[in-house]
Amino acid sequence: MGEQDSDGGRETAKAAKRAPVRRKPTVRASGAAEEKPAPTGKAAAEEAVPAGKAAPAKASAKKPASAGRSASAGRAAARRAPAGKSAPAGRVPAAGKPLVAPGETAAAVQGAPTRTVAKPVKEESRTALVRRARRINRELAEVFPYAHPELDFENPFQLLVATVLSAQTTDLRVNQTTPALFAKYPTPEDLAAADPEEVEEILRPCGFFRAKTRSVMGLSRMLAEDFGGEVPGRLEDLVKLPGVGRKTAFVVLGNAFGRPGITVDTHFQRLVRRWRWTDETDPDKIEAAVGALFPKSDWTDLSHHVIWHGRRICHARKPACGACPIAPLCPAYGEGETDPEKAKKLLKYEKGGLPGQRLKPPQAYLDAGGRPAPPLGAG
């Protein structure tokens, strides 16, 4: 029994040596030292670094022993959190209180939908803008190779009068009205000497018929008296005529005299701002800004391309973005319908938007050989 007791004592001593209890001295208020168990885990890590001193660099490379337990506690807290509320991983909220991260709104914590904010558009250099604008024009030229003035005319005088009448109405309505007008008053002298009431009756379908009657009769009178009955081919002369501004003048110069000009109508203004060619709203400033992006020789055709695109695809209220041939080049992509099938239904192959009046399909603007037909009055 004695040997067994001694052997047991030796085994106990050996076990104590193999797993010693780490103790550190503590100082009481009286100055006497007392042994207490050494802290483990997070407490040990906190005590290992004195207050006000940074931890050694090597310590940051080692994964704390409590990391796994902290992550598990965070996941458990997330499972315990009420529906629609979440706690960040690794942080355990107090009992019964949801944890809100700094800067996080209450709506986000409660699961309310947050609004997606579009990223700011990258600033575009002048060179990049010129290249993109000219590429858009080239793409539209392929889509609308037959683009031309949609007003019917046979000479500069008819084009001038028709353009004045097209204000605040559709080209289709003007084309339905002008045949009777020009049949009865074929020359400026004839229209200048007409009975205003008769002219008003003819122009009534165009809207604002009284004001338009005064304009076309006034410009006819000035053509007869100051220009020998001929439409002048200079901008400074055209803008002197009643009812004629720069837009109307450039339509006449570009399509009746072959002199380049930019036609800044409502479609043109809307599209160039959507494409961010310019931020200007004044027509004269838009004309100058856009004209600086293109060679002068491109101005007339550019106007046709933009206007045709605005009437058929890039509408004011519901652009057909999903069917737009220049969508990759458009900063405003997404303002309209992006679904291709739905966007196709928005395409307008109607002239002017009058009920039952359909625009000719594109093939109708090609000649027998498949080439773009020249516009009426050309040559």
Phi and psi at 26, nearest 5°, equal -120, 150
On whether residue 253 sits in a domain, the answer given is yes
Q: What is residue 348's predicted lDDT score, i.e. its pLDDT?
A: 81
Spatial contact of 304 and 271, defined as CB atoms under 8 Å apart: no
What distances in angstroms separate CA 29 from CA 23, 33, 35, 129, 360, one per listed residue? Answer: 19, 10, 14, 79, 104
**Strand partners of residue 366:** 372
CA separation for the pair 352, 337 (Å, rounded): 21
Q: What is residue 90's predicted lDDT score, i.e. its pLDDT?
A: 42
Residues 202 and 346 in one domain: no
Residues 140 and 163 in one domain: no
DSSP state of 104: -
Domain boundary among the residues 200, 232, 259 is at 259
Q: What is residue 92's predicted lDDT score, i.e. its pLDDT?
A: 42
pLDDT tens string 85-95: 444 444 444 44
On whether residue 62 sits in a domain, the answer given is no
CATH number for the domain spanning 333: value is: 1.10.1670.10
Residues 270 and 359 in one domain: yes
pLDDT tens string 211-248: 999 999 999 999 999 999 999 999 999 999 999 999 99
CA separation for the pair 246, 47 (Å, rounded): 84
Length of the chain: 379
Average pLDDT over every residue of 34-38: 47
Can you point out the beta strands (E) in the chain? Answer: 23-27, 33-37
How many degrees, rounded to 5, is the angle at CA 330 between CA 325 and CA 335?
95
CA 56 to chain CA mean position, Å: 53
Average pLDDT over every residue of 244-268: 94
**3-class DSSP assignment, residue 348:** coil
Residue 122 has pLDDT above 60, yes or no: yes
Residues 266 and 251 in one domain: no
How many degrees, rounded to 5, is the angle at CA 143 between CA 137 and CA 144?
85
Residues 138 and 270 in one domain: yes
Average pLDDT over every residue of 166-184: 94
Residues 200 and 142 in one domain: no
Residues 132 and 281 in one domain: yes
Domain boundary among the residues 240, 259, 278 is at 259
Q: What is residue 18's predicted lDDT score, i.e. its pLDDT?
A: 53
Taking each helix axis from N to C terminus, what angle separates 299-312 and 266-274, rounded to the nearest 10 degrees?
Answer: 90
On whether residue 299 sits in a domain, the answer given is yes
Q: How many domains does the chain have?
A: 2
Domain range spanning residue 343? 125-150+260-371
On whether residue 90 sits in a domain, the answer given is no
CATH number for the domain spanning 168: value is: 1.10.340.30
CA separation for the pair 29, 52 (Å, rounded): 24
On whether residue 195 sits in a domain, the answer given is yes
Residues 146 and 264 in one domain: yes
Q: What is residue 145's predicted lDDT score, i.e. its pLDDT?
A: 87
On whether residue 9 sits in a domain, the answer given is no
CA separation for the pair 276, 259 (Å, rounded): 27
Residues 335 and 203 in one domain: no
pLDDT tens string 329-350: 999 999 999 999 999 889 886 4
Q: 6 vs 356, which has greater pLDDT?
A: 6
CA separation for the pair 295, 325 (Å, rounded): 23
Q: Name the nearest CA neighbour of 333 among 140, 343, 123, 145.
A: 343
**3-class DSSP assignment, residue 24:** strand
**Strand partners of residue 23:** 37
Q: What is residue 371's predicted lDDT score, i.e. its pLDDT?
A: 46
Residues sharing a CB contact under 8 Å with residue 106, sequence separation 6 or more, in sequence order = 100
Residues 138 and 223 in one domain: no
CA separation for the pair 231, 220 (Å, rounded): 9
Residue 310 tokens read as 């605005």
Residues 367 and 282 in one domain: yes
Q: What is residue 46's predicted lDDT score, i.e. its pLDDT?
A: 47
Q: With a threshold of 0.85, does the pTM exceed it?
A: no
Domain boundary among the residues 233, 259, 285 is at 259
On whether residue 13 sits in a domain, the answer given is no
Q: Write out the catalytic residue numbers.
A: 247, 265
Spatial contact of 171 and 246, defined as CB atoms under 8 Å apart: no
What amino acid occupies position 266?
A: T
Residues 320 and 247 in one domain: no
On whether residue 206 sits in a domain, the answer given is yes
